[in-house]
Structure 1
Amino acid sequence: MEIYTFTQETGKKITKFDSDFVMSRIIQTEQQARIGCMYLEENGIIGYHQAVVPQLLLIINGEGEVCGSNKEYVKVQAGDAVYWEKDEWHETKTETGLTAIVIESEQLSPATFMTSSYRTI
């Protein structure tokens, strides 16, 4: 399991075309990707299971805890991105609720665009 950040502070200021915003790039794939949004209510859980393909979980609201196959839980919050390799066992849970975008694809390389967090497991 690896944890990255896509916060505003790690993004790049865009001013082209009279724009004024910050872009935090996340991923680029050449293979098919599935993208979904997960809503975990208070005390919600995505149960312990094996990743069928590489997965990238982007926390966009709230906070919770994630673990990999070592079952050591790490706190995550909005702006964190959690990456699991294919076949890696993992779980996500929250006491207060969280919303996350999940990207699944045979080809994911989050280190290409995002900064690794100090909480790489």
Structure 2
Amino acid sequence: MEIYRFDKKAGKKITHFESDFIMSRIMMTSKPAHIGCMHLEENGVIGYHDAVVPQLLLIVEGEGWVCGEDEERVHVQTGDAVFWTKGEGHETTTKKGLTAIVIESEELNPSNFMPLRDTF
């Protein structure tokens, strides 16, 4: 399990075409990708299971805990992106609720676009 950042601090200012915004790059794939949004209510759980393909979970609102195969719980919050490899067991839980975008694809390499969380 790796945890990356996609918050404003991880982004870069874009000025092309007279633009003025910050873009946090996340992913680019040449193979098909499944993208969904998960809404976990208070005390919500995405139960422990093996990732069928590489999976990236982007926390867009709220906070909770994630674990990989070592089952060590790690706190995550808005702006964190959790990456699990194919076959890696994992779970996500929350007490207060969280919303996350999930990207699943045979071809995911978040290190090409995002810094690891602990590098800030």
Q: Does the residue aligned with 1:99 lie in a helix, a strand or coil?
A: strand
Q: Which residue of 2 aligns with 1:17?
A: 17
Greater CA deviation, 9-18 or 65-74? 9-18
Q: Which residue of 2 aligns with 1:84?
A: 84
The residue type paired with residue 72 of structure 1 is E
Partner Cα separation in structure 1 for residue 7 and residue 117 of structure 2: 11
Q: Does the residue aligned with 2:31 lie in a helix, a strand or coil?
A: coil
Q: Does the residue aligned with 2:28 lie in a helix, a strand or coil?
A: coil
Q: How does 1:1-121 map to 2 (within 5 A)?
A: 1-118=1-118
How well do the aligned residues superpose, as a CA RMSD in angstroms?
Answer: 0.9
Q: Does the residue aligned with 2:38 lie in a helix, a strand or coil?
A: strand
Query: 1:18: how far off?
Result: 1.0
Q: Does the residue aligned with 1:118 lie in a helix, a strand or coil?
A: helix
Partner Cα separation in structure 1 for residue 18 and residue 30 of structure 2: 30
- TM-score normalised by length of structure 1: 0.97
Which string of whole-angstrom CA distances, capped at 9 and with x for unpartnered residues, describes residues 61-119 of structure 1? 00000000000000000000000000000000000000000000001000000001129
Partner Cα separation in structure 1 for residue 118 and residue 61 of structure 2: 20
The residue type paired with residue 75 of structure 1 is H
Query: 1:10: how far off?
Result: 1.1
Q: Which runs of 4+ in 1 moved over 6 A?
A: none
The residue type paired with residue 97 of structure 1 is G
Aligned residue pairs total 119
Partner Cα separation in structure 1 for residue 53 and residue 34 of structure 2: 10
Partner Cα separation in structure 2 for residue 96 and residue 50 of structure 1: 25
Q: Does the residue aligned with 2:72 lie in a helix, a strand or coil?
A: coil
Can you give the 5+ residue segments of structure 1 that lack an aligned partner in the other structure? none
Partner Cα separation in structure 2 for residue 52 and residue 16 of structure 1: 38
